[in-house]
Structure 1
Amino acid sequence: MRLDHVSYVTSHDQLADTVQRLGARLGSTFVDGGIHPRFGTRNFTLPLQNGHYLEVVCPLDHPSSDSTPFGKAVSQRAAEGGGWLTWVVAVDDVSKIEKRLGRAAVDGHRTKPDGKDLAWKQIGVLGTLEDKQLPFFIEWLSLDHPSTDGKAIAKIVKVEIAGDESRIEEWLGSELHAAIGSDVEVEWVSASANDGDSGIVAVHVMTPSGVVRLD
């Protein structure tokens, strides 16, 4: 179990501007990740060091964006004005999470503009929908991971989370530091200091120009 990526939501009409703004702040270039046909969303990704990446995702005018858990989560966050959606944990065998949560994982895939198809299984988005502090889980079925899609020159060094560590660890079935990694600091923020909302407040990224706080 390890931190895989962090997910930031924007609206479809703000996608290009958001990708350009975040990329400029990090001194890095996003890659067009393509469309998630099953979820009614599309994304751009930015490779980070230590096997991580940053995703900017938006809902599309598509039935799946309202009928699937991930589509709903992205659509709801976009309707709220966008911002951090969640953090995502990679596992080697998602069947263990399926047994613990008592439901099956969902197949996901997207075809990049260069024709490469990425495939994975994901589970736990319903938990994220109900409680924004909870991550969801992913098992990659493809060898091409988005963290290797370009040169990674920046890395995540800290995540600010409005939430409860014990609740998150119960959900993970693991100690938090084992899931998020010892190289990433976690700073706990009270929900009251975050407009009453739980979830990611900010992500601190070390770039060649210094640390950038993305909120």
Structure 2
Amino acid sequence: MRLDHVSYVASHDQISDVVNRIGSQIGTAFVDGGIHPKFGTRNFTAPLLNGQYIEIVCPLDHPATDATPFGQAVKKKADAGGGWLTWVFSSNDLAKVEEKFGRKAADGYRTKPDGSELKWKQIGVREITGAGELPFFIQWLTEQHPSKDGNSVAKISKIVIADDEQLADSWFKDEIKSGLTDVEIEWVKPESNDGDKGIVAVELLVNNNKIRVD
């Protein structure tokens, strides 16, 4: 299990501005990732070093947005003003994760503007609603990974997370920690984040300069 990507939410009207702002901060151009037809969302992605990436995602005016856990989570965050939604870990085999959650992972796919299709399975999205400190989990079913879309110059160095318990209530605390190669976690009190648990900021290194994305 390894840290795969971090996910930031914007409203549909503001996503272009957010893409430009964060892209300028990290010195990396975002690419249009296309629509998630099953979830009622769309995203833009920016490649990072270490095989990771940043996703900026927005809800669409689509029935699937309200009918799926991921669509619901994105819409709820967008309605609250947007910001960091979650962090996501990838695995080559989700069987043990599925066993713990007591259900099968959901299938996901999106077609990029160039016509290529990405496919994956994901699980744990239901649990991040109201518990933004928890990650969810993904298994890629296609070889083309978003970290390969474009030129990467930035890498994640730190994730600041508001959580008193520091993932004590996660079944996968040890796996998460071991999957954070060269990434530091700074735990802060929820009181410093308006009482909310979840990602407060992500710090990246760009040409040895620290960039903080709130």
What's the CA shift for 1:173?
A: 5.1
Runs of at least 4 residues off by over 3 Å: none
> Structure 1 residues 209, 184: CA separation in 2 closer, same or farther (over 3 Å shift)?
closer
Output the aligned Cα RMSD.
1.2
> Structure 1 residues 209, 17: CA separation in 2 closer, same or farther (over 3 Å shift)?
farther
Equivalent residue of 2:50, what SS? coil
Moved more, 200-209 or 45-54: 200-209
Deviations 1:45-70 (A, max 9, x none): 00000011000000000011111000
Q: Does the aligned pair in 2 maintain the 1:165–1:176 contact within 8 Å?
A: no
Aligned letter for 1:167?
A
Aligned to 1:73: 73
What's the CA shift for 1:95?
A: 1.6
How many residues are paired up? 213
Equivalent residue of 1:197, what SS? coil
Aligned to 2:201: 202
| Pair 1:12 & 2:18 matched | no
> Structure 1 residues 185, 104: CA separation in 2 closer, same or farther (over 3 Å shift)?
same
Q: How far, CA to CA, are the matches of 2:176 and 2:35 in structure 1?
A: 31
Deviations 1:177-203 (A, max 9, x none): 20222x001100100111000010000
| Pair 1:189 & 2:188 matched | yes
Q: How far, CA to CA, are the matches of 1:78 and 1:99 in structure 2?
A: 31
What's the CA shift for 1:171?
A: 2.9
Deviations 1:11-34 (A, max 9, x none): 001011110111011111001000
Q: How far, CA to CA, are the matches of 1:196 and 1:175 in structure 2?
A: 27
Aligned to 1:53: 53
Equivalent residue of 2:38, what SS? coil
1:148-187 equivalent positions in 2, closer than 5 A: 148-163=148-163, 164-167=165-168, 170-172=170-172, 174-181=174-181, 183-187=182-186
Equivalent residue of 2:32, what SS? strand
Aligned letter for 2:44?
F
Q: Does the aligned pair in 1 maintain the 2:2–2:176 contact within 8 Å?
A: no
What's the CA shift for 1:94?
A: 1.1
Q: How far, CA to CA, are the matches of 1:171 and 1:191 in structure 2?
A: 21
What's the CA shift for 1:166?
A: 4.1
Aligned to 1:39: 39
Q: Which runs of 5+ in 2 are unaligned?
A: none
Q: Does the aligned pair in 1 maintain the 2:134–2:167 contact within 8 Å?
A: no
Identity %: 56
Aligned to 1:108: 108
Aligned letter for 1:165?
Q
Equivalent residue of 1:133, what SS? coil
Q: Does the aligned pair in 2 maintain the 1:160–1:188 contact within 8 Å?
A: yes
TM-score (norm 2): 0.96
Aligned letter for 1:118?
L
Aligned to 2:146: 146
Q: Does the aligned pair in 2 maintain the 1:89–1:180 contact within 8 Å?
A: no
Q: How far, CA to CA, are the matches of 1:110 and 1:166 in structure 2?
A: 31
Q: Does the aligned pair in 2 maintain the 1:162–1:201 contact within 8 Å?
A: yes
Q: How far, CA to CA, are the matches of 2:5 and 2:71 in structure 1?
A: 17
What's the CA shift for 1:100?
A: 1.1
Q: Does the aligned pair in 1 maintain the 2:167–2:173 contact within 8 Å?
A: no
Q: Which runs of 5+ in 1 are unaligned?
A: none
What's the CA shift for 1:143?
A: 0.1
